[in-house]
Structure 1
Amino acid sequence: METIANYINGEFVPSNSGSYMDVFEPATGQVYAQVPDSKKDDVESAVQAGSDAFESWSKTSPVDRSQIMNRIADGLENRLAEFAKYESRDTGKPVSLATHVDIPRAVSNFRFFANHLLTFDSETVLDGNGSTNRIVRYPLGVVGCISPWNLPLYLFTWKIAPALATGNCVIGKPSELTPFTAFKMGE
């Protein structure tokens, strides 16, 4: 049985409450992991860690953020078969579906935003009245990203990748029903 931990400030840590919830494999009905039953103080620790990291991450150049995000995509892609097995165990879907659809889509999410962030820092728009407007985007700070159970890694990356690309720090909360691929991505 695997014990999942919270990933806060670059470290895997147990929930402050010490309590866990069982994670069931849909295909067998058997418990295969335990996920922290995190409470308010765990979230507060994550928010503090994100706040502490925000100044540095938000000032990281778009080129450097892009390279980091592409390395994350590379890591997922290099472990595609492993992640497909985790996704199948989490959701009960066929390994072949996770191999050919779900995990490649998660990789694509990181690649898309890694490449797009090099062009969406600002844009110029003509308003039709002879004026030129410049749009500049700034990171917000620490953002929470909650993903559902049905496409765990794909929809998790669809939320966290654009947030990270724009310089935000992320508190990611995967579904407690299907947390394993998000946990493994943290590794």
Structure 2
Amino acid sequence: MPDKPNPIASPPDTIQNFIGGQFQDAADGGRLENVNPATGKVYSTLPDSGAEDVQRAVEAARRAFPQWSSCGLQERYRILNRIAELIGRHRDELAAAESRDSGKPLWLSKSVDIPRAEANFRFFATAILHFASEAHPMEGFAVNYTLRQPLGVVGCISPWNLPLYLFTWKIAPALAAGNCVVAKPSEMTPMTAYLLAHLCREAGLPDGVLNILHGLGPRVGQAIVEHPDIEAISFTGGTRTGAHIAAVAAPKFKKLSLEMGGKNPNIIFADCDFEEMMKTTLRSSFANNGQICLCGSRVYVERPLYERFREELVRRAQGIRVGDPFAEDTRQGAVVSRQHFEKILGCLRQAREEGGTLLCGG
């Protein structure tokens, strides 16, 4: 299939894989629907990739590895810094794509997600120019030193809550170190990863250095984790999925980086700075629509402060404007998917069944 024009200005209705520097559909032609969570409508489709697509991507990455790993730090710096510049130049377009895909407010995508993606590439581009390792003399007999070298082909699997932010947080250091990457963004938020592929090609990233595959975890994600020529896996997502990845990859002695979900408590004492505490609690509870690893999903309050805290939390929560992610006054947009929405409703039903009282919303 011939390459399409650069889609940054107007995101397309058809997303493709990026393998060996070329855009292509899944090997078996399968496709998935991409839904705008704010409207519930399908607005694009993406490849339903599988093991054959992973094999193609790994082969492309292996072909690219000798040149990329030996091209020199200055060249890698130049290309990665150029990618950062292009992300910054297209901040508005990428932010709009991110909010359309994820449901988060546009102001949040503009102020956090896309600037952090740019910063990720810029940080690791410059970091490789100043890398140092330790050396230990053995009393005049010898010097032991550490030499860190690229592994080869590595796999990066990123989540849907901070799509481009965490996608780049994985691939940028891997590329900077001289590795070639087979990456899978979440099937629920694929657009900015697809747009990033166009920017990488514009920046002059050699073919095969970064390969981006779209699809479902049990198909394409599983194939990435299992592939014998992928030396390391970096994953951010659910604990159950991370445990499965560890069970599959550990016997193959792959290097693993697993950042998995948590349920963080806020612990509030009666002698706290009340105003500062309320700002922090509100931010930790509702930032990114509550879909973030830093979310304070449980709040423990010392008894003397409880009544005051409860009243103030309800008052401030009622003041959060929920609405169209593209409206300037929206503070909280749509949750990422119908499945996640139903999960939240299930929690509310369970709370009622167990005798709880909903103080706001529901």
Percent pairwise identity: 52
8 Å contact kept, 1:26–1:92: yes
Alpha-carbon separation, structure 2, partners of 1:176 and 1:86: 14
2:133 paired residue among 106, 123, 127: 123
Q: Number of residue pairs matched?
A: 186
2:61–2:180: 8 Å Cα contact kept in structure 1? yes
Q: TM-score, normalised by structure 2?
A: 0.50
TM superposition shift of 1:124: 2.6
What per-residue deviation string (whole Å, max 9, x for no partner) do you get for residues 37-64 of structure 1? 0010000000000000000101110111
Question: What is the rounded CA distance, in whole Å, between the counterparts of 1:150 and 1:8 in structure 2?
Answer: 25
Match of 2:88 in 1: 77
> Higher relative CO (CA 8 A, sep ≥ 6), structure 1 or 2?
1
The runs of 5 or more residues in structure 2 that have no matched partner are 1-11, 199-362
Question: CA-to-partner distance for each residue in 1:117-142, whole Å, 9 max, x for gaps?
Answer: 1122x423447978753221100111
TM-score by length of 1: 0.95
TM-aligned CA deviation for residue 33 of structure 1 = 1.0
- Deviations along 1:60-90, one digit per CA (max 9) or x if unpaired, are 1011101100000001000000000011011
Aligned-pair RMSD on alpha carbons? Answer: 1.5
The partner residue of 2:100 within 76, 89, 104 is: 89
Q: What is the one-letter code of the residue matched to 1:137?
A: R
Aligned counterpart in structure 2 of residue 169 of structure 1, from 176, 180, 192: 180
Aligned position for 1:149: 160
Partner of 2:301: none
Matched, 1:56 2:56: no
Higher normalized strand content (fraction of residues): 1
Tell me the amino acid that sits aligned with residue 60 of structure 1. C
Query: Which consecutive aligned stretches of 4+ in structure 1 deviate over 6 angstroms post-superposition?
Result: 127-131
Runs of 5+ unmatched residues, structure 1: none
* Aligned residue number for residue 20 of structure 1: 31
Contact 2:138 2:144 in 1 (8 A): no
CA contact (8 A) 2:20 2:57 kept: yes
Larger radius of gyration: 2
